[in-house]
Amino acid sequence: MKVIKRDGRAVDYDRSKIQIAIEKANQEVSSSNRASTEDIKSIIQYIEELDKKRILVEDIQDIIEERLMQIKKYELAKKYIVYRYTRALVRKQNTTDETILGIIRNENSEEKQNTAMTAAEQRNYIASEVSRDLTKRLLLPEKIAKANEEGMIYFHNEDYFVHPMINSSYINMESILDNGTIVNGKMIEQPKSFLVACIIATQVIATISSNQCFGQSINMSCFGKYLRKSYDKYKEQIEREYKGKLTEEFIENLVRLRVQSELQSGIQLFQYQINTLEAINGKEPVVTLFLHIDEQDKYLKENAMIIEEILKQRYEGLKDENENIVTPEYPKLVYVLDECNALNGGEYDYITKLAIKCSAKRKYPIYLSAKRMRENYKGNVFCPIGNNIFLTPWKNEEGKYQFEGRFNQGIVSINLPQIAILADGDEQKFWNILDERLELCYEALMCRHYSLVGIESDISPMHWQHGAISKLEKRERIDSLLYGGYSILTLGYIGIAEMVKLIKGKALSTEEGHQFALKVIKHLKETSLKWEKETNIEFVICGMISERLGKRFAQKDKEKFGTIKDINDKGKYTSAYCLNKKENIGLYEKLQLESDFEKISLGGVISYINIKKLNETELENIIKYIYENIQLSEFEN
């Protein structure tokens, strides 16, 4: 068997080099974590039984890492990774120093964005640059790092990969508030009022955002209980002081005025805190609030009041440093359309009309159809995490579906237009390259997964010990939460419209283009299911809506292949499976075509609706249509 070195040379296979490498890593760990002589022999035997005539040195090293993980030598595997890539420090020129100096001097054009960075932002960008550098040169297999650099795939959050962090999460805020939690080593008991509940929640949000890569979602329905607590508190106080002196009606009005005042203060605090807190990246936390008026909710009335106040304050906006009214980016708002508020004569239609007014002025909220979700997710309605990533239905030990307290391990996205460019109109070649690239995505996703395997709950007590995700013991490993569907790994994709144009020469809105696109998405889904069976890890496919990713892939392809008309000349690829804005097609036909993808791409869906020239009646008709037909929709002005 010949081994192909990094420089392309073919050398004879030498089993002793494998043994020496593992034994050197063995010396760096305790005796209980070392690979035995039999373990090493088994790994060597596995490689030799592949019976290949030629094998890449990187593939041998990947196999060693995987086999060490399989025999649960996690600490040893990580030491081997360091050993494996130590020589890369010498092999590759390190350009990180100049990048960091550029950041310090505020000369880095990509990060500068025409404004001087604060010390906190500089600190974050420097840490991010170091992480990217170590990720490329030390932590990722060379072929994955190369694929990421050349825009074949995108390894999300590489600027945090040196840290054992999850990507995003659906925080179990109800458990935290109801059962108490620990923040910075201090016991926080169940709050006795709505305002205190808001204060605790924002402290939890700050802690969470400092210990994970990206966004967190919160179901706001858990706050209804605490608004009622405030009502009961004021009712008791005022009746004790004024009963018999004032009429019951007057007392009730006085109580409601105080509750309304506390509600306004609590939501204002929530909005101010989220927009002024500093997360791990030196910016405000990425937070999504789930606003569901659920007729089965014990605190329906209170939660309707909370949602109404959130929308009112978002409509008003915030003042910037020059006292101009601006639209805050966070928290993102996901407003659920259900039977009681889908503008079909429901009791809470008036709140939906307020939401429409808010969207027209402030972009958010985005709209989620409870009807559509129940059809797609076994009768469940729940919040996306991150931008638009959805968990899969999963039942806990009690046999109940659970979504809060779950998380996304990581994301790797595939550049579909680049595959189509390389195929040059040859459909069979497209499928062949697609499968090769999907294998790269799988290996990159498993790098994400293995970076979390074996880590202990102490790495982020709020996540793993104090209820945001779980309540593990100190020093307990989080491994049980990585398998069996509790958490997910996400395969992202982008540029379906451009891919179809390149392969079929037709628009995505045509029958031929539409069917080809559906075939590709189904193939991604089938591939992810195959991975799931092999690993006992839940994989989901997600149409990415990241403008930054669309620009990155388009720019990489423009550098490599030149400008291609109607493909990369726009500066970015089209989000997810969305139709190109240039297509001459009616709004409802567009939404209907896009809705076909939702049934397959359940890990991430979105449709954009341009409302710039629409009147109030037209907007209300769109809301009715969304409820019946579209899972997740966002308005554009």
| pLDDT-derived band at 117, boundaries 50, 70, 90 | low
What are the DSSP calls for 86-142, one per residue?
HTHHHHS---HHHHHHHHHTT--HHHHTTSPPPHHHHHHHHHHHHHHHHIIIIIS-H
* Residues in a beta bridge with 385: 389
> What pTM does this model have?
0.84
**Would strands 10-12 and 2-4 be described as parallel, antiparallel, or unpaired?**
antiparallel
Q: What per-residue confidence (pLDDT) applies to 131?
A: 76
Residue 302 has what pLDDT? 98
Q: Predicted confidence band at 116 (pLDDT cuts at 50, 70, 90)?
A: low
CA dihedral angle for residue 598, residue 600, residue 605, residue 607, rounded to 10 degrees: -40
b/e per residue, 78-93, with b = 16+ CB within 10 A? bbbbebbbeebeeeee
Secondary structure (DSSP) of 341-382: TSSSS-TTHHHHHHHHHHHHHH-PPEEEEHHHHHHHTTT---
Cis-peptide into 365, omega within 30 deg: yes
Task: Look at the block and give the residue holding tokens 């350009």.
Answer: 95
What are 585's two structure tokens?
A: 């097609």
pLDDT of 94 above 60: no
Query: 3-state SS of 267-278?
Result: HHHHHHHHHHCC
- For position 407, what pLDDT does the model report? 98
* Average pLDDT of the segment spanning 55-80: 83
What's the pLDDT band for 112 if we cut at 50, 70, 90? very low
Please give the pLDDT value at position 106. 53
